[in-house]
Structure 1
Amino acid sequence: MTGLLVLTLPYRQLTGLLPQVMRGACEQVNKVLYVHLDPAIAAATSSTIPATSSTTSTPQYNAHLSLHQASNLIKSIYSKSSSLASSLDVRVVLSGFKGGSEIPVATNYAIEKVMIDCYAKENIPMLRSRYKNYLNGSDPIVLLKENECQDTRDDSETTDSDVGSDKIANTKIYKNIVAGGTFDHIHIGHKILITEGLLRCTNKFTIGVADGPLLAKKTLTELIEPVGVRIKKLRSLLVDIDPSVEYCLEPIYEPLGPSGSDPDMEMIIVSQESLKGGNYVNSARVERKLNALDVVVIELVEDIHRSDTEEEKVSSSSTRRRVLGTRIREPDLTNKPEFPPYIIGLTGGSASGKSSIAKRLSEKGVTVIDCDKLGHRAYRKGTNCYHKLVSTYGVGILKEDEEINRKALGAQVFGDAEKLSQLNKLVWPEIAKQVHEEVEAAKKAGAEVVVLDAAVLLEADWDHMCHEVWVCMLPKTEAVERICGRDGCSREQAETRLSKQMSDRDRLLRCHVPLCSLWDYDTTARQCYTALDTVMSDIKTIQASLKNTL
């Protein structure tokens, strides 16, 4: 459900009643909430100081709010909504704040419900007429009763927090501004930063979206969306917030991007965390005989949902960590095996912690099928696989007891992609047969959930035997350290081993639940148990549905 919240109360009243208003609005929608200030309905505050600039035109702000007041109100809207419904996509539309169109002309998401903070019944016809394109013949939902909207403050009272002041914030207005960032998993910190920029922009907003080498030190880089996807989502958000501005969004692979060459830029907007980057941009521009940019610094937003192991500020890194143990896509059960048992494919690269995760799941009563052990069983003397291997590679791969010498076999195939592929075609089908047998045995034993622990789950296309796939990720640098410590090999040997395996990014393309063992034991365990709880809940839901159809 997507809704439009229309704000009409005077600024002083609204700031006090905002928690109730946002609570009511968040209870009405669950997808996207557009928030719009209607300047034709809102009562004017007694005193505002218009934002001005010595170098650019006077801003067209509505008569009721200064830039500073608009900034405060918008930040409060985002903060309140985040505390009430963190998964709700809230978008504050600036048309009413900047004095443009009094009613949002178009939105990316179709508005299904209109809400208003407080409104006298006799004036409902006026509102119905103004928002007829969104109401579809119905009346808006009024969130507060008239007696709840009484102004408890004297309109003649003016304080420094109510009016704009250059001491409080930069209130200059610019034609062309710039910003930069990763903009992955867009959060309220991103929304506040770009909104603060748009409040000060009349013409063009250029944004460099970091990619490539600039992502190298980010946490869980594999979960960062492709730059094209990030740019598309950011543009959608920007156009919803303020369609009056021209947007230039482009990937950047070094810190400067377009800010290092565009002579028309006047201001760069940064967070406290990226202020150093803003100063670097100005140093480079001065060296290149370009004008230095005004730097507007936005405070970091506290993350009220953070755990003890996460950053204090709202960040995409924390958002990506919260993705771990949850589904990034829903499983498609079409043409999958009947269940119970529900089969989870568990995979990951060397030293990813996959075996430890399988052990934790086993401790929870889940049946775990170790495909590495099945592979050893397939090589045993007398099996079909054994005879095929000897026939293909000769008796030179046998030990004195006529069992297969896996090191001798490996020496023949590893390093030769064609021979390795041939070996896999012989062995993988034999392991798959054993998997089917193990699953049938688990089914007879009454197992509800079976985990298929397989390093080559995706390479062998065994995911078709599973209802969903969990991928254990680990940054390459950490994986190398673990391999060296565990196996006593050199870094070069460890890196070579990893280079021959499927990358975590490729695994994630066929993954339903990502996991990561980078942190302590308890953190990894919580990821596993969260994912398992989701599966068990789904099983109960499906079983209840089947009973109802009988």
Structure 2
Amino acid sequence: MSESMTLYTATLLLTNPDVNVPIRATYKSVISQALHVTLSSGRLDIFVARPPETFQETHYVVTQLYLMAAEAAKEDARESVDVRVLLQGIGGFDIGQAKDTCWEVVAVGKEDGKLMPVFISERQVSAYSPALQVLILRMPTRGTGEIVDEEDEIEIGEAGIVSDSEEEGQAKPEDDGHDGEYPVVALGGTFDHLHVGHKILLTMAGFLASRILIIGITGPALLQTKKYKEYMEPLSERSRRVLEFLAYIYPGLKATTHEINDIYGDAAKIEDIDALVVSAETRKGGAAVNKERRRRKMRALKVWEIGVVDGSAEGKLSSTDIRRRLAETRGESVN
């Protein structure tokens, strides 16, 4: 691309991934091109026109898109671009109603060109709305594997499946999990310097919820052993970022955040919670929550597990990595 090309602060990329076709083979170069025209201080929204119906397939699509974007951002020095995956019809998100997003350009791969007239029709742009620039991006013929082979797909584990001992309430391989299956869903985490792993976790918890998301955010008692904790964002900032992210991708859900200073949080106290979403590294916490709920004579929660949260995937920083870099920029020893 030309060095004098226009760079945009807000890019929308239209996609229509097929879970039966290697997503990287189809979208790796498309996402890279979309990032390349986005300012490093800007944002890229990846819109999925027809999300899968099940938890596991949606987890696969969302994770592949986020991790490909992270890899491309690292390669193109766009790591500060705020990437968000938007799922049509999930959590109250409707591209036709998203009038306040202020995208400057809408991009689409050539093979997905049929999404453009649908997008324009659903947006119903008024005479007072600024016209969007349109970019048609190079894209391999779907399923040809011209970019990568299927075996090169990012390994993300099996969402919803617990491979070790199966505690009461844990999702089994035969459980599919569908959009809005549970009225109230809970999850917890540090959510420091909100990164790709956090976004995947929040997205999948919201996928399962029909009304309310309850997010526990770790307080001082659980942060004593964190590396570079002096560079951790204050709880108020972590909470703000989580709520802003969820309000953007799932405008139909009510999200609340709470400080937690033990492994249970509000998930072991609020009777009306229906399901809990955990990551592989916090699996034991899910089992502990159900044990505590049973002690309190409360029903056990259905526990759903996702992979790739700790930042170990190529191209994706963890919160610890981010804090380490902050220390390095200030000339402090990281040994």
TM-score (norm 2): 0.76
Residues of 1 paired with 2:22 and 2:48: CA distance? 11
Which residue in 1 is equivalent to 2:267? 259
How far is the alpha carbon of 1:91 from its aligned partner?
A: 0.7
- Decide whether aligned partners of structure 1 residues 259 and 143 sit closer, same or farther in structure 2, where only a CA change above 3 A counts: same
Which residue in 1 is equivalent to 2:137? 143
Rg larger in structure:
1
Which residue in 1 is equivalent to 2:227? 219
2:17–2:61 contact (8 Å) kept in structure 1:
no
How far is the alpha carbon of 1:120 from its aligned partner?
A: 7.7
Which residue in 2 is equivalent to 1:315? 318
Q: 1:324 is paired with a residue of what secondary structure?
A: helix
- Decide whether aligned partners of structure 1 residues 201 and 121 sit closer, same or farther in structure 2, where only a CA change above 3 A counts: closer
- Decide whether aligned partners of structure 1 residues 204 and 120 sit closer, same or farther in structure 2, where only a CA change above 3 A counts: closer
Is 2:86 aligned against 1:93?
yes
- Give the 5 Å matches for 1:284-433: 284-301=292-309, 302-305=312-315, 314-326=317-329
Residues of 2 paired with 1:249 and 1:139: CA distance? 37
Q: 1:269 is paired with a residue of what secondary structure?
A: strand
Is 2:120 aligned against 1:128?
yes
Which residue in 1 is equivalent to 2:151? none
- Decide whether aligned partners of structure 1 residues 99 and 204 sit closer, same or farther in structure 2, where only a CA change above 3 A counts: closer
Q: Deviation per CA, 1:494-538, whole angstroms, max 9, x where unpaired?
A: xxxxxxxxxxxxxxxxxxxx343251xxxxxxxxxxxxxxxxxxx
Residues of 1 paired with 2:144 and 2:333: CA distance? 54
Which residue in 1 is equivalent to 2:105? 113
How far is the alpha carbon of 1:228 from its aligned partner?
A: 0.8
Structure scoring higher RCO (CA < 8 A, sep ≥ 6) equals 2
Residues of 1 paired with 2:136 and 2:214: CA distance? 38
Residues of 1 paired with 2:102 and 2:289: CA distance? 40
Which residue in 2 is equivalent to 1:167? 173
Residues of 2 paired with 1:107 and 1:255: CA distance? 40
* One-letter code aligned to 1:205: L
Which of the residues 170, 173, 176 maps onto 2:184? Answer: 176
2:201–2:306 contact (8 Å) kept in structure 1:
yes
- Decide whether aligned partners of structure 1 residues 88 and 168 sit closer, same or farther in structure 2, where only a CA change above 3 A counts: farther
Q: 2:131 is paired with a residue of what secondary structure?
A: coil
* One-letter code aligned to 1:25: A
Residues of 1 paired with 2:112 and 2:300: CA distance? 51
How far is the alpha carbon of 1:248 from its aligned partner?
A: 1.4
2:15–2:112 contact (8 Å) kept in structure 1:
no
Is 2:30 aligned against 1:21?
yes
Residues of 1 paired with 2:89 and 2:27: CA distance? 16
1:271–1:297 contact (8 Å) kept in structure 2:
yes
Residues of 2 paired with 1:179 and 1:120: CA distance? 35
Is 2:79 aligned against 1:79?
no
Which residue in 1 is equivalent to 2:48? 37
How far is the alpha carbon of 1:98 from its aligned partner?
A: 2.8
Which residue in 2 is equivalent to 1:517? 333
2:216–2:259 contact (8 Å) kept in structure 1:
yes
* One-letter code aligned to 2:313: D
How far is the alpha carbon of 1:116 from its aligned partner?
A: 1.7
2:182–2:274 contact (8 Å) kept in structure 1:
yes
How many residues align structurally?
Answer: 290
- Decide whether aligned partners of structure 1 residues 279 and 122 sit closer, same or farther in structure 2, where only a CA change above 3 A counts: closer
2:108–2:137 contact (8 Å) kept in structure 1:
yes
2:69–2:83 contact (8 Å) kept in structure 1:
yes
- What stretches of structure 2 of length at least 5 have no aligned partner? 1-8, 74-78, 146-156, 162-171
Q: Deviation per CA, 1:163-213, whole angstroms, max 9, x where unpaired?
A: x99627652521111111111011111111111111211111101111121
Is 2:221 aligned against 1:229?
no
* One-letter code aligned to 1:167: P
- Decide whether aligned partners of structure 1 residues 208 and 138 sit closer, same or farther in structure 2, where only a CA change above 3 A counts: closer
Name the one with the larger helix percent: 1
Q: 1:516 is paired with a residue of what secondary structure?
A: coil
Q: Deviation per CA, 1:250-273, whole angstroms, max 9, x where unpaired?
A: 222333221121001121111111
Which residue in 2 is equivalent to 1:68? 56
- What stretches of structure 1 of length at least 5 have no aligned partner? 40-61, 154-160, 307-313, 327-513, 520-550
Residues of 1 paired with 2:308 and 2:188: CA distance? 15
* One-letter code aligned to 1:149: T
- Give the 5 Å matches for 1:481-496: none
Q: 2:273 is paired with a residue of what secondary structure?
A: coil
* One-letter code aligned to 2:314: I
Which residue in 2 is equivalent to 1:45? none
Which of the residues 205, 219, 230 maps onto 2:213? Answer: 205
Q: Deviation per CA, 1:123-166, whole angstroms, max 9, x where unpaired?
A: 85554343454983245211136xx435559xxxxxxx9xx996
Q: Deviation per CA, 1:272-323, whole angstroms, max 9, x where unpaired?
A: 11112222211111111111112212223533248xxxxxxx5211211012
Q: 1:325 is paired with a residue of what secondary structure?
A: helix
1:11–1:65 contact (8 Å) kept in structure 2:
no
Residues of 2 paired with 1:107 and 1:169: CA distance? 36
Which residue in 2 is equivalent to 1:336? none
- Decide whether aligned partners of structure 1 residues 9 and 143 sit closer, same or farther in structure 2, where only a CA change above 3 A counts: farther
- Percent identical pairs in the alignment equals 26
Residues of 2 paired with 1:110 and 1:268: CA distance? 34
CA RMSD of aligned residues (A): 3.1
- Decide whether aligned partners of structure 1 residues 168 and 217 sit closer, same or farther in structure 2, where only a CA change above 3 A counts: farther
